[in-house]
Amino acid sequence: MQVRLCPAWQGARPADVAFLLATIRLLGAPFGALAWLWLVDRIEWLQHMLAPIGRVALSAYLGQSIVARLGFAGMPHFYGAMDYAFLMCLTVPVVLFQVVVARIWCRSGHTGPAEALWRFLYLRP
């Protein structure tokens, strides 16, 4: 990305404003992640609820990516047209679904399918 001084707000092109807002969002994301980690560290029931997701983290990440890819493949006119707030609202049901599935999966005592494949490939001679 090019780093320049902020454009004057009078006469600023929409592309410049969009670029500035995207840059601010990218620079602010680590602070949001730190705030989330601080919150989870302080609330015990949240730790208990999210612990199974940690055991199947790779499977959850890949599953989320597949759901998003299939969703946008089925609705190509929405790709790039949804605003950021709406996309964040779509993540809530996906994450809640993953938490429920991870809790059910982890009751059997097994790691996630992607973790099992990773372990199998890593431990091969």
Which pLDDT belongs to residue 2?
Answer: 43
Residue closest to 116 by CA, chosen among 48, 64, 73, 55: 55
Tens-place pLDDT, residues 47-96: 888 888 888 999 999 988 888 888 777 776 766 677 777 777 888 888 88
The more confidently predicted of residues 4 and 11 is 11
pLDDT digits (tens, 9 = 90+) for 16-32: 777 888 888 888 889 98
pLDDT at residue 1 in the model: 39
Length of the chain: 125
3-state secondary structure string, the chain? CCCCCCCCCCCCCHHHHHHHHHHHHHHHHHHHHHHHHHHHHHCHHHHHHHHHHHHCHHHHHHHHHHHHHHHHHHCHHHCCCCCHHHHHHHHHHHHHHHHHHHHHHHHCCCCCHHHHHHHHHHCCC
Using the structure block, give the residue that is written with the tokens 């950021």: 84
Distance, in Å, from the CA atom of 18 to the CA atom of 111, rounded to the nearest integer, reads 42
pLDDT tens column, 33-49? 899 889 888 998 888 88
